[in-house]
Structure 1
Amino acid sequence: MDKGSTLTTIAVITCNRPTWLKRLLLALSKQVASDSTQLDILVVDNACDPATEKVVSEINTHSAIPVTYQTEPVKGIVAARNRCVTHFLATESQNLIFIDDDEWPSDEHWAQNLIDKKQHYQADIMTSHVISVGEEGTPEWAVDLIYGKNPLVEGDQITTYYTNNLLISRHVLEQISPAFDMRFAMTGASDYHFALKCTQAGFKAFYTDAPVIEEFPKSRATIKWFLRRGFRSGIGYTRSHLFEESKSTALMRCLFMAGVRFARGILYCLKGIVTLNKTTFVDGMFRFCSFGGTIAGFFGIKHEEYNTIHGK
């Protein structure tokens, strides 16, 4: 590492998506950093796929930003995320940025913007939003629904964030160990659980306008997929709070949230029917399923969303 520069590692978890991974790595290789910033890229392959290794090798040959390839044989997004953290902590890097393999930065200053705003806000964690675009043939209602309208504005301090566009300072990961909980190995919500632990530890997270673009796969654009996702998210919410709070606090919090989700689900469904708006109706069904998942989480029910790989 150059003397006087700060190293930041951009981490990518991938599983059988070599085409989309190549698109992302090409975009990351064009990131522009300031004189005081040095970037490197880490790819953790959770499928141990020769085609993926070949893509990384080809990009690394021409990239001005070095790319490291590692495999994680233990299946599940949690093991892969923790592999990223372990590698990161074994280096001199001071910031770890997560981005998904179905995404790419909105511009060439994306990483530097996150780093600069971390310093500006004296933040422990920085995040931004995701802009979804549909894979060819994806219905518009599904693209509109996946993230909805971004409610955050520059400088908002937040307590909920996810690893699809996230910068984490080194001292956070040195304290929160293991960063991601294997009890969420195939179910999702390990990043929500991580955010909850960080908030309870007193770490401060801020939002800035540094979006990434995501290609939403056509194979996910079904009502069934959204309903399952809603159910899974509800389960993850309840399990996270049961793991980190007293039973009485978690019970009260999750029952209140279940009530909110039930009420909103009914209202959105009715609104969708009256206005003949499919996006609003499915949003209501999503929230109603999230209500069901919030209750199911109390009984140890799990839904393994990551058994099926979407994309290419």
Structure 2
Amino acid sequence: MTNSDRSNKTVGVLVCTADRPQMLVDCLRSLISQDLPVGWRLEIAVVENDATPKSKDAVAELASGTTVPIHYVQEPRRGIPFARNKALEQALAYGFDIVTLIDDDEQAQPGWLVAHIDTLLRDGISVSYGAVTKTYECERPRWFPPDTPSDMVAGMELPRASTNNVAFLSDLIRPPHNLKFNPVFLHGYEDLDFFENAHAKGFRIVWNPQAVVDEYVPRNRLTAERMLAFTRASATAHVQVGILRQGYARTFVKFGLKGLRRLISSILLLSVVAPLYLAGVTGLERHYYKNRMRLTRAIGNLRGIFLRSASYYNQIDGH
């Protein structure tokens, strides 16, 4: 079936959640208020990634007051790939024609679903990747990496996407393709890997800046400890990708050398900058944290080489 044939169909929004019932409800409210193109209906599937149903009652209460079907299921095995794969199972079980993913700490802006659906109705496009703005609970630290506007233009083709704001044709997860999230990536990169595999199979991914969600960033995610933990996990995940795709030997050489360079240079620079910064010398904050980030990437790379995981998502930020 071509994209233009898709009418009188269902768009399903998949939301994975863990221990954030209030933020989840805000997310779901933004979804049920979405407009839809003529001939389309909306359903929502919530996957709670927890052995304890902490959000079940909140979802049931919200579902009782809307005509939009909201399905709820638990995935007790902790890990983002497990939750996302359970969500894909729901999409297949309910026969969604377009599958959309959004994070539980985000809210869809008006026109979000229309923008995604309109893009996917164009022939040859299989994945619509949308934009994310951020609302911070408190002022960000001065050293924090800045939010830089995307320089991509609407319709630009991309080699990958992430799951915080994306929609795709269900063809990706149906036979013969049967794409799933790789459970190896317990600490990040599982979404990029999924869409890189989709791209390799010939599915076209395009940038869609008209489909916007807003991410709420809580105060505790703006600490140095959390930023460094994220950086370490990301560096480890990149090594995991290399091992899977290029083999251990090539990855060991590539990231071993990179990790050692980062380790040596950051330690040398921190040996000069850290004492001065900690002594109160102004103007060194960015240099101090830049090199702490570099050191953390080195540690993440080396942990990945020695097959050690680097957890970030075990701690839940938000409410």
TM-score under structure 2 length normalisation:
0.82
Please name the residue that 1:233 is paired with: 234
Matches within 5 A, 1:159-170: 159-170=159-170
Q: Does 1:306 align with 2:308?
A: no
Partner of 2:196: 196
CA distance 1:238–1:216, shift in 2 (3 Å): same
- 1:276–1:203 distance in 2 versus 1, CA, 3 Å: farther
Matched, 1:172 2:172: yes
Cα deviation for residue 212 of structure 1 reads: 0.9
Query: Closer, same or farther in 2 for the Cα pair 1:275/1:74, shift >3 Å?
Result: same
CA contact (8 A) 2:172 2:178 kept: no
Question: In structure 1, what is the Cα distance between the partners aligned to 2:193 and 2:143?
Answer: 26
**Is 1:133–1:143's contact at 8 Å kept on the other side of the alignment?**
no
- 1:208 corresponds in structure 2 to 208
Alpha-carbon shift at residue 45 of structure 1 (Å):
0.9
Identity of aligned residues (%): 23
How far is the alpha carbon of 1:203 from its aligned partner? 2.3
Q: Distance in 1 between matches of 2:282 and 2:181?
A: 42
What one-letter code is carried by the residue in structure 2 that aligns with 1:216? V
TM-aligned CA deviation for residue 193 of structure 1 = 2.1
Structure with the largest fraction of helix = 1
Give 1:289 deviation, angstroms.
2.6
Distance 1:7 1:55 in 2: 24
1:152 aligns with 2:149: no
2:97 alignment counterpart: 94
The one of 123, 126, 141 equivalent to 1:124 is: 126
Quote the residue 2:184 is aligned against.
183
Q: Which has the larger radius of gyration?
A: 2
Which deviates more, 51-60 or 96-105?
51-60
Matched, 1:85 2:88: yes
Post-superposition offset of 1:79: 0.9
Distance change (3 Å), C-alpha of 1:155 and 1:277: farther
* Unaligned ranges ≥5, structure 2: 1-5
Question: Contact 1:134 / 1:143 at 8 angstroms: preserved in 2?
Answer: no
CA distance in 2 between counterparts of 1:291 and 1:151 reads: 29
Q: Which amino acid aligns with 1:168?
A: F
Contact 1:29 1:63 in 2 (8 A): yes
Which 10-residue stretch deviates more, 206-215 or 122-131? 122-131
Instruction: Name the CA distance, whole Å, in 2 between partners of 1:208 and 1:262.
Output: 38
Partner amino acid for 2:163?
Answer: T
1:18 partner amino acid = P
Alignment of 1:1-312 (within 5 A): 4-105=7-108, 107-120=109-122, 122-135=124-137, 138-141=138-141, 145=145, 147-174=147-174, 175-177=176-178, 179-185=180-186, 187-209=187-209, 210-247=211-248, 250=251, 276=283, 278=285, 282=289, 285-312=292-319
**Which piece of structure 1 moves more, 242-251 or 215-224?**
242-251
Q: How many residues align?
A: 304
Judge conservation of contact 1:60–1:67 (CA < 8 Å) in 2: yes
CA distance in 2, matches of 1:256, 1:113: 44
Q: Distance between the aligned counterparts of 1:77 and 1:19, measured in 2?
A: 20
